[in-house]
Structure 1
Amino acid sequence: MPKMTGGRFIAEFLEKSGVDAVFYVPTILSRPLAEMDNMKIKRVLAHAEKSAAYMADGYARASGKPGVCAAQAVGAANLAAGLRDALLGNSPIVALTGGRKSMEKHKGAYQENDDYPIFEKLTKANFQVDQVERLPDLMRQAFREATTGNPGPVNLQMAGNNGQIEDDYAELELIVEDRYTKTPSHRFSPPIEEIKQALRVIEKAKKPVIILGGGARISDAGEEAHEFSKKTGIPIATSVAAYNLIPEDYELYIGVPGTYSRECTNRILSEADLFIFIGSSTGGQVTHFWKIPEIGTKVIQIGIDPSDLGRNYPNEISLLGDAKTTLQQILKENLTKLKIDDWREKSTNIVNEWKAELNKLRDSDSKPIRPERLMKELSEVIPEDSIVASDTGHTAMWTVQNLWMNKKWNFIRCAGSLGWGFPAAIGAKCAFPDKNVFCLTGDGGLWYHFTELETAVRSDIPTITIVNNNNALNQEYDIFMNAYDGKPSNRWTEMWYFNKVSFAELANNMGAFGIRVTDPVDIKEAVKEAMKSKKPSIVEIDGDVNALAPTAWSK
């Protein structure tokens, strides 16, 4: 076995694992980063540890490969906070952090704190590397944990506040298991008899629906799910996490269910008698906190984690398997179109009526600009094969309600942490430097990590950020209206208004490309100019603060 430093081993392990970028805040990984001088790994120095974690998250969700981020001990808690969204969103991340050496514990060492427990609740797995000899097996285990089952973030805490274990020499064998360098790492399907049993239940349904969850996206099961819907004639919906899997113009596509949803979708689902969840843990958002479907409705669930199957609904059938592989097995069966013409027609009519009503706002020429019109314009101007990263809150709601895409594209969305979108898009661009990467966010989300625009400029990471700037957190409107019992004081906007600042001007001052749009007819041209600039870009939309995203429909 070759003798080398821990730093050299880390660099070679990441290179052999196909890692394209490392996102970090110093001082950490100093020796590995230096060793990468002659490697094709992009070293992205971020301004904040949380941003670095979000960048690694965006990289991971876009590519399916583990994203790598790092922070020294004093910044570890900041990095841990950024892993929360990765845990919620099943994103494979390997975090490398500094930790206390045994000889320094409990002595009041500079910046000393026991950060290890912080990661216990924010990661899928959490390991301490106390000796350099443990790097080979624990690096392999970190990648294995990150990519198997439901993917998730893993933390490796290395001895030394700055991970000084990287300076130690040892005989270190470099073994990389290719299977665990990408998700899904294992593909398996349930027994054929269980599949046949599920199909018998489906054949008897009068009002069945298919719902694709984030696991279907991780598994790349969109094509198979689309074919399953076509062959059986069952209406199909996508969760926010699976939004890009089914084209908008597919006649049986009924939209997005749950809390961040379309009214038409929830209306249809409220009448369904069988739910086929594929790659979904049936969590609170996709079911609108378990109101749709109601408990007692028949459910078939396909998933890779047995602990998810039947967790929230007593399943009629649970199929343990990878979404893509299981659907491939189902498609080999003798599938016929179900005799549910009335259900198909009703579902289609509800969708068409909803869209006809919405088109009035999608065609609006109002100034300030309506979000519905913004999303319509973006639907038409975003090129094929682009990646779109969406922030949470109103941005996610406007996106899934109004960004109607009939082209090949990739979509990654925040699992709940406002501000995620901008750094996540930077990470996605590092994974796919030759693709157009768009971030959709509002001013509230962009303010979180706007300093990373300097990172994008310095590191030549030309993402295109569309910011709906209404100078407010207007998602708080109803919340504070309720807090005032419907009679707000003349000071109530202090809690949710911002100063008026032009992100476009700031972008131009920072060496990026910035352009402000006040008329909806100029949106497409502004986006084209941003793409043409080849710079990190901010397209600032003069947004309507009075435009509130519709809340979820339920009975």
Structure 2
Amino acid sequence: MGKKTGNRVLAETFAAYGVDHFFNVPMIIPPGIKEMTAIGVKSVVAHSEKAAAYMADGYARESGRVGVCASQAIGATNLASGLVDALMAKSPILALTGGGTADTRERNFYQEIDQRPIYAGLTKFSARVEKAQRLPDLLQQALRVATTGSPGPVHLELSGFWGAVLMEEVEHVMPPEPRYGFCPPIRPAASAEDIRTAATALRKAERPIIVAGSGIRASRAQAALLKFARFARIPVATSLDAKAAIPESDTLCTGVVGDYSRDTANIAVSEADFVLFVGSSTGSMTTRGWSVPVPGVPAVQIDIDPRELGRNYPLIVGLIGDPAAVLEQLGVELAGPVGSPQWIDRIAALREEWGKLAAQYENSDTSPIRPERLCSMLSESLPEGALVAVDTGHAAGWAARHLYLNRSGQALIRAAGSLGWSFPASLGAKCANPMRPVVCFTGDGAFYYHLAEMETAVRYGINTVTVVNNNHGFNQERVLWGEDAALEKNWKFGRVDFAAVAETLGMKAYRVERASDFRGAFKDALAAGRPALIDVYTDPSAVVPIPWEKPKELG
């Protein structure tokens, strides 16, 4: 085999592993980008390193493939800040940065810092490539780590301000391992003894419930979860990230549980006498600060990462393995439904109560538009196969409660806490699957973070539809400041016309101030053939209700 430059090896490795987009901010490995372009890996240049990381994250969550983002040495810290969400959401990302060299370290070279401590806490693996000959093994190691076990971000620092080390030639190139370009590359099963223990406990339960988390999406285990739940007749509550794992219309669906939640889910989980956690990290957001359910409820947990088993809840047994594989094992061992018919009746009653409670605002035609009404109209308008990227804060709260995903193939990805994530992530998701309808649902506070990426969407023809819940402020925080005019600038924004801004940048744009105008605008936006934005003026007084939690007993 003849010698190749490190840039060529990088490009060929990406192609072999199914990576077809490279999200970056200049300048980073220009010769490498030329090599990528020559073999069909598309470079997407963003306006900020953080946005590039979010694009790679959206790409990875939508496709299951590794999302790649990159920046020169100066932008390394900006890029790192974009990896927090990916780490929390179990998203396989490879971050590449330029870095120092033996000749520049400890000499006050321009904006050079030690990147290792920064990336150590944000990635599963971080290493320096100081010679091009080390690229093949370190790159393949990084890709294996990103996609195996609990997926997550990895990092390679390429020596040289913009990664010039890859201009060196490489003599020996390792054969690719394409299976590690996609999650999950393998599906390990749990031990048979543990499966029997879990099944025995489940058979004793009268009111069992499943709490499903982001591990379902990371494992691509949605179909396995739905099959198991229907077979065993166990109701399902999910985190927001796993919301689309079970259709909202399914009689076993209780909704999203925790802080961003629907009352039905929190009540059902609190009343359950057995909880099966599946791919859930049992963190504070999904459990309402570890109060839904209360620790001590009989529980079994399925997770591919043994560190998560029993972290926050005592377990009858922890099942280590891939969620899809373990659910199949558990279904075989159960051999039939569990729980009582009265429990299913109780879930039906909770679903009915929610429908009556939600109808007041979901059917409202008041102006400004209620966010509940906006979510209801969006639910009705989303086509089959649509993917919705949801931001955090009020966007997440409204989506958890009032967005209904019932049509075939619909899915949802969400910010794990990084305000502004959803718009760049939606662009990355669209790059991963250009034929899929991709919709961003965000608030105006979040949209301000990365609205410059509208130009990126237009430049590359990334035809998403962005729906902005525009209440002209951080109204989630309005309660902190009261109605004091001297303090209102802490939450209240000026009345910026996002539709006009979007049109200036080349997008198709609509401003909606009446509920009756939304469906037509959304239909046109989907068919626009270019990036589109719908700026929806909503009621600034509307606040997501405090999540339901079990009343504390008087002592």
TM score, norm. by length of structure 2? 0.97
TM-superposed deviation, 1:78: 0.3
Contact 1:13 1:174 in 2 (8 A): no
Q: Secondary structure at the match of 1:540?
A: strand
Question: In the aligned structure 2, how far is the partner of 1:381 from the partner of 1:279?
Answer: 30
Inter-CA distance 334–290: structure 2 relative to 1 (3 Å threshold): closer
- Identical positions, percent: 44
Question: In the aligned structure 2, how far is the partner of 1:86 from the partner of 1:246?
Answer: 23
Contact 2:234 2:339 in 1 (8 A): no
Q: How does 1:165-180 map to 2 (within 5 A)?
A: 165-180=165-180
Question: In the aligned structure 2, how far is the partner of 1:84 from the partner of 1:2?
Answer: 40
Residue 373 (structure 1) aligns with: 373
Residue 432 (structure 2) aligns with: 431
Residue 55 (structure 2) aligns with: 55
Residue 349 (structure 2) aligns with: 349
Q: Secondary structure at the match of 1:96?
A: strand
Q: Secondary structure at the match of 2:103?
A: helix
Residue 526 (structure 2) aligns with: 531
Residue 477 (structure 2) aligns with: 476
TM-superposed deviation, 1:174: 4.5
Residue 153 (structure 2) aligns with: 153
Residue 207 (structure 1) aligns with: 207
TM-superposed deviation, 1:478: 2.6
The one-letter code matched in structure 1 to 2:432 is A
Q: Secondary structure at the match of 1:144?
A: helix
TM-superposed deviation, 1:514: 0.6
1:506 paired with 2:501, answer: yes
TM-superposed deviation, 1:123: 1.2
- Aligned residue pairs, count: 549
TM-superposed deviation, 1:212: 1.0
The one-letter code matched in structure 1 to 2:487 is W
Question: In the aligned structure 1, how far is the partner of 2:192 from the partner of 2:105?
Answer: 56
Residue 240 (structure 2) aligns with: 240
Deviations 1:388-409 (A, max 9, x none): 1111111011111111121121
Question: In the aligned structure 2, how far is the partner of 1:28 from the partner of 1:475?
Answer: 39
The one-letter code matched in structure 1 to 2:488 is T
Question: In the aligned structure 2, how far is the partner of 1:75 from the partner of 1:108?
Answer: 16
TM-superposed deviation, 1:339: 4.9
Moved over 3 A (4+): none
Residue 420 (structure 2) aligns with: 419
Q: How does 1:82-97 map to 2 (within 5 A)?
A: 82-97=82-97
Deviations 1:410-435 (A, max 9, x none): 21111110000000000000000111
Inter-CA distance 35–365: structure 2 relative to 1 (3 Å threshold): same
TM-superposed deviation, 1:334: 4.9
Q: Secondary structure at the match of 2:83?
A: helix
The one-letter code matched in structure 1 to 2:538 is G
TM-superposed deviation, 1:491: 1.5
1:496 paired with 2:491, answer: yes
Deviations 1:243-298 (A, max 9, x none): 01101111121111111111121112111111001111111111111111111111
Question: In the aligned structure 1, how far is the partner of 2:350 from the partner of 2:487?
Answer: 38
Question: In the aligned structure 1, how far is the partner of 2:291 from the partner of 2:251?
Answer: 26
Q: How does 1:398-417 map to 2 (within 5 A)?
A: 398-407=398-407, 408-417=409-418
Question: In the aligned structure 1, how far is the partner of 2:309 from the partner of 2:338?
Answer: 26
Cα RMSD (Å) of the superposition?
1.2
Residue 288 (structure 1) aligns with: 288
The one-letter code matched in structure 2 to 1:503 is F
Residue 338 (structure 2) aligns with: 338
Contact 2:391 2:420 in 1 (8 A): yes
The one-letter code matched in structure 1 to 2:270 is S
Contact 1:260 1:551 in 2 (8 A): no
Residue 553 (structure 2) aligns with: none
Question: In the aligned structure 2, how far is the partner of 1:198 from the partner of 1:33?
Answer: 51
Contact 2:66 2:94 in 1 (8 A): yes
Question: In the aligned structure 1, how far is the partner of 2:88 from the partner of 2:338?
Answer: 36
Question: In the aligned structure 2, how far is the partner of 1:184 from the partner of 1:479?
Answer: 43
Residue 319 (structure 1) aligns with: 319
Question: In the aligned structure 1, how far is the partner of 2:130 from the partner of 2:464?
Answer: 39
TM score, norm. by length of structure 1? 0.97
Q: How does 1:89-168 map to 2 (within 5 A)?
A: 89-168=89-168
Contact 2:232 2:331 in 1 (8 A): no
Question: In the aligned structure 2, how far is the partner of 1:137 from the partner of 1:479?
Answer: 52
Contact 2:258 2:287 in 1 (8 A): yes
Q: Secondary structure at the match of 1:270?
A: helix
Question: In the aligned structure 2, how far is the partner of 1:54 from the partner of 1:133?
Answer: 30
Q: Which runs of 5+ in 1 are unaligned?
A: 482-487
Question: In the aligned structure 1, how far is the partner of 2:312 from the partner of 2:2?
Answer: 51
Deviations 1:351-376 (A, max 9, x none): 21122111111000011111111111
Inter-CA distance 390–169: structure 2 relative to 1 (3 Å threshold): same
Contact 1:99 1:116 in 2 (8 A): no
Question: In the aligned structure 1, how far is the partner of 2:37 from the partner of 2:263?
Answer: 53
Contact 2:91 2:218 in 1 (8 A): no
Question: In the aligned structure 1, how far is the partner of 2:411 from the partner of 2:2?
Answer: 42
TM-superposed deviation, 1:306: 0.7
Question: In the aligned structure 1, how far is the partner of 2:179 from the partner of 2:56?
Answer: 20
Contact 2:258 2:292 in 1 (8 A): yes
Q: Secondary structure at the match of 1:411?
A: strand
